[in-house]
């Protein structure tokens, strides 16, 4: 898998999550992704969380497998280096704003068939980030406990993640077209559009247009049956019955078939239908809760073994067992040390996926400049002028 995109080079000028994730996705598939930062690093170079050394665990996590070069964006010589890199690679991924010299119009003068993808806040060019976009689109008012009046923000930067994966997909689609037609592409990807598109794709927008204001349901699964349950000993599990078989197995294992059937008769409901399981979720949960409360996690694990019930215990990040997971490998990350880190989740069955550490900031400056045909004297001259670090 690490060679699927061998020969593809991407210049990435970015920070934070969406654009770096797009670049890393391509790097993990074998592309040569050259991350270009200003001297000293971009705004995310010290972004929390931090290792004891002060190294950003976010930065290292989002830049695995890339090469790194640092350039003085304020100098003509530094901007010329970036332009030459873009022309050589032919593909640019960026979320940098306020730099006309990084625009498609400017860079395509050096490479007419350039593929240029610009991540933006909104389509009108105004600024936005994941957390402000999430607030605008409506999700905080359907997140959280039913009796909670204020909006509840999310922790997972879902729109940044979707945006980064859209960016990787868009670049590959444009590169495929260029390979057939020779045409470049200017692609704009507003973060707000990503969130709005997904809200529409998931039915939230249509539901609102049809006059329904989605309710808060806490940890219940909307439109079906699923909820968290407390166990003996203080642990909690999430249980989900997406299908009739899931629900039937849950009732059988808990010994509630007859009780649930009688409840179904009294309510005039059909628990073989998702909607009825959802409408009567609180009654069903009240029947199930005592069974869980009387059992430990080990007992629940044994009871559900081999069944169709979908369930999982709640765990903290510190409780995750990464050893032996095929996604996880051990790397020696500069500035952090030895740690377990994920490779690409795309598994082609070849057994060759393994995580690659993120570079040190500017680690590959000399090598990248050499790829452009600059010799040691040229690099020394650029460094003497402060054009590269």
Residues tagged active-site: 160
In this structure, what token pair is assigned to residue 42? 């971009």
Residue 51's φ and ψ, nearest 5 degrees, are: -75, 165
User: What H or E segment, with its residue span, contains residue 379?
Assistant: helix 376-384
81-87 long-range contacts (CB < 8 A, ≥24 apart) are 81/369, 81/372, 81/382, 81/387, 81/388, 82/11, 82/13, 82/36, 83/107, 83/110, 84/110, 84/372, 85/11, 85/34, 85/36, 85/368, 85/372, 86/11, 86/110, 86/111, 86/114, 87/111, 87/114
C-alpha 343/C-alpha 97 separation (Å) is: 30
For 66, 117, 224, 332, the CA distances from 335, given in Å and listed in that order, are 16, 31, 47, 9
Map tokens 């010329």 to a residue: 80
Q: What three-state secondary structure class fits 159?
A: helix
């Amino acid at each position: 898998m690490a060679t699927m995109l061998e020969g593809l080079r991407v210049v990435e000028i970015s920070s934070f999550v969406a654009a770096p994730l797009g670049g890393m996705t391509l790097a993990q598939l074998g592309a040569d992704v050259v991350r270009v930062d200003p001297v000293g690093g971009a705004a995310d170079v010290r972004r929390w969380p931090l290792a004891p050394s002060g190294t950003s665990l976010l930065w290292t996590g989002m830049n695995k497998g890339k090469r790194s070069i640092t350039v003085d964006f304020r100098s003509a010589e530094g901007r010329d280096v970036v332009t030459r890199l873009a022309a050589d690679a032919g593909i640019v991924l960026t979320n940098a704003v306020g730099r006309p010299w990084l625009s498609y119009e400017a860079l395509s003068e050096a490479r007419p068939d350039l593929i240029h993808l610009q991540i933006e806040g909104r389509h009108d060019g105004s600024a936005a980030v994941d957390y402000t976009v999430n607030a605008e689109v409506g999700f905080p008012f359907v997140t959280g406990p039913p009796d909670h009046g204020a909006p509840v923000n999310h922790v997972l930067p879902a729109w940044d993640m979707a945006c980064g994966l859209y960016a990787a997909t868009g670049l590959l689609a444009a590169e495929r077209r260029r390979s057939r037609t020779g045409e470049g592409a200017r692609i704009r990807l507003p973060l707000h559009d990503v969130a709005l598109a997904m809200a529409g794709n998931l039915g939230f927008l249509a539901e609102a247009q049809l006059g329904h204001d989605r309710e808060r349901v806490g940890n219940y699964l909307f439109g079906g049956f699923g909820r968290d349950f407390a166990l003996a000993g203080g642990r909690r599990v999430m249980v989900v019955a997406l299908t009739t078989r899931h629900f039937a197995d849950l009732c059988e294992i808990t010994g509630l078939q007859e009780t649930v059937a009688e409840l179904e008769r009294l309510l005039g409901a059909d628990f073989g239908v998702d909607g009825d399981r959802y409408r009567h979720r609180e009654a069903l949960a009240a029947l199930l809760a005592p069974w869980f409360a009387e059992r430990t996690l080990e007992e629940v694990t044994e009871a559900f073994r081999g069944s169709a019930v979908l369930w999982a215990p709640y765990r903290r990040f510190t409780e995750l067992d990464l050893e032996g997971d095929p996604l996880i490998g051990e790397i020696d990350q500069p500035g952090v040390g030895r740690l377990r880190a994920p490779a690409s989740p795309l598994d082609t069955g070849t057994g060759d996926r393994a995580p690659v550490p993120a570079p040190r900031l500017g680690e590959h400056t000399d090598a990248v400049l050499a790829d452009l045909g600059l010799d040691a004297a040229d690099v020394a001259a650029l460094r003497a002028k402060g054009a590269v670090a």
